[in-house]
Structure 1
């Protein structure tokens, strides 16, 4: 009986010890900063907690969901009944817009892991004139010297713009030189008052040029900068002219030419500072004429690429010739030749050219 009584006492003590744990209780597990200003720098908040258990509370680790959020926490044990806090700092610099970040707290509490959340929205810092318009050209500052890329279907026109600001104390009237005939360029408004903004309107007319695919053109601003055409007053205009298949009927699609190259990958083993020519056939297996609008060869390792026919009749072939040169090339080179065609199925055909340099 004494043995049974002793075992009962030990069991009760074990259960009591097992029941004694640290407990972590947060006043709140989420915090909304609301709208904060980027120029004011990092923002912080404190998550207050209490050890409501019977044993000391130890925070083993506190980690944030990204490097932009930094937590700091007490490293010493928190006695039963005592309080503590976790400081969370969010770096708003360079992070405009809404945010939501999590902080994971691992401790010796019965809960083990607790997740905290911060949220808010960062109002971007107002940009200076120099930041907003980084390109200086005489009396004006531009957002960019490079116009947005113009994507245009053959036969159509499209307009893009570059915004600028008159930074002088007088009216400015822009004039332009050097634009090719398929590009019209003007200022809107024609006269921009001191301190005000305007737009350089660039209209690309694909009817006025016999070209397809990617191309780059230039125009030059005359605004007390230079009467010459140089880097200091150059506007870069990139474009991509595409065949227009948008209104093709089912019959037109069915009768479209089909491009079938004899090679879909060109592999060449060649010594450095050497030349070699690769030829292969390009066949039209469709039901109407295949037109090769343009061939574009990468400069790396390719001196020239040509096709013996611009128009290939159904069932006929043309010979493609690629002149490869490794002059000045010491290492393996990966290049390509791109065909722009009138094929509905394959308007753009890319043939990779892998050049292996041998000793």
Structure 2
């Protein structure tokens, strides 16, 4: 009896083995995409559909053709190359996004299946949809000349030195004249580029101000508030505040190199001066050390108040070396609980920015 059962099991396994081998022989051969994710930026609903294009090349020896394309929702439609792609031939996917009544950030997935990839490859269309507004006066409450803005200033957020950051700012023309940006602006620094979409705004039309901030060209680190002046074709000018925090960009550090790279050490990061008199300056020292094996470079030391004076003995430390950071806090004209910050920027790729908090109770 046992022998019969064993023979039956073996027979089943033998019958299944060709299927197993066939499943193993299916090899995914994918198209190589120029970009797997395309960001189309801010999309104004009243301007209708927006189109983006993906390009994929067949780097395989076998011919490939696209069999199916599936979009995540009905707001996205896709047209694609239906020809057979021999080696080195390029496929095109044209994706149209309909912004009708959809607001906010979006990331729409597009699944592409081919004769050599039944599982499907994933592409992403990203952007921010800005729907039509019912009450323009309330939606754009901040006026600068004849232009209405949602906020009184432009906050770029964190800007890194490896690539410029683009910010889309809504604006509405409440005036009676058509407005366009002048080609040259004497009131804008070289690391900030400004353009407008559309290039001209008719009376009653809204658009987008595109602000491109180049952190590397800025050549400085930390928090900045900068006023720029925009000049328009009707000879009007407006001042706009631009806020940013510029950081140096570092590549991710492999686990094996974490003890080798420069490592910034601080003897204290939370300093309590306790009770201080409003008429008396207070000084303290903080020891900075390099706990890594490579040279530590202090890029910058800054504070959020002119009432804190800073002195750094050395801004370059070899492995194991230490230096002294001294500060003097002048509480003149201040009362009550007080907090000040000292920010240290360095080439420590794991923790490039460290903050020292100074607390006090001013009497």
TM score, norm. by length of structure 2 = 0.57
Distance across 2 between alignment mates of 1:222 and 1:181 = 15
Could you say if the C-alpha distance between residues 329 and 169 of structure 1 is closer, same or farther in structure 2, counting changes exceeding 3 Å? closer
SS of aligned partner of 2:294: coil
Tell me the equivalent position of 1:315. Answer: 320
The answer on 1:221 being equivalent to 2:230 is: yes
Q: Deviations over 1:79-117 (max 9, x none)?
A: xxxxxxxxxxxxxxxxxxxxxxxxxxxxxxxxxxxxxxx
Task: Give the C-alpha shift of residue 160 in structure 1.
Answer: 0.4
Q: 1:187 to 1:254 in 2, by over 3 A?
A: same
Moved over 6 A (4+): none
For 2:138, the equivalent position in structure 1 comes to: 131
- The verdict on how the C-alpha distance between 1:225 and 1:318 changes in structure 2, with shifts beyond 3 A counting, is farther
The match for 1:201 is 210
- Please list, as runs of the form range in 1=range in 2, the aligned pairs for 1:28-43 lying within 5 A after superposition: none
Q: CA deviation at 1:281?
A: 1.6
Distance 2:278 2:175 in 1: 56
Quote the Cα distance in structure 1 between the aligned partners of 2:321 and 2:230. Answer: 49
Task: Describe the SS at the equivalent of 1:156.
Answer: coil
* Residues 265/143 of structure 1: CA separation in 2 closer, same or farther (3 Å cut): closer
Which of 322, 329, 345 is the matching residue for 1:324?
329
Deviation at 1:211, TM superposition (A): 1.4
Q: Does 1:257 align with 2:262?
A: yes
Q: Which of 229, 249, 265 in structure 2 is aligned with 1:244?
A: 249
Find out whether 1:337 has 2:355 as its counterpart.
no
**Structure 2: distance between partners of 1:280 and 1:168:** 56
TM-score, normalised by the number of residues in structure 1: 0.57
Give the one of 280, 284, 289 matched to 2:295.
289
* Residue of structure 2 in register with 1:157 after alignment: 164
2:191 to 176, 182, 197: 182
> How big is the shift at 1:285?
1.2
- Which has the larger Rg? 1
2: CA distance, partners of 1:296 / 1:131: 39
**C-alpha distance in 1, partners of 2:132/2:252?**
46
2:92 aligns with none
* Gap runs ≥5 in structure 1: 1-123, 228-232
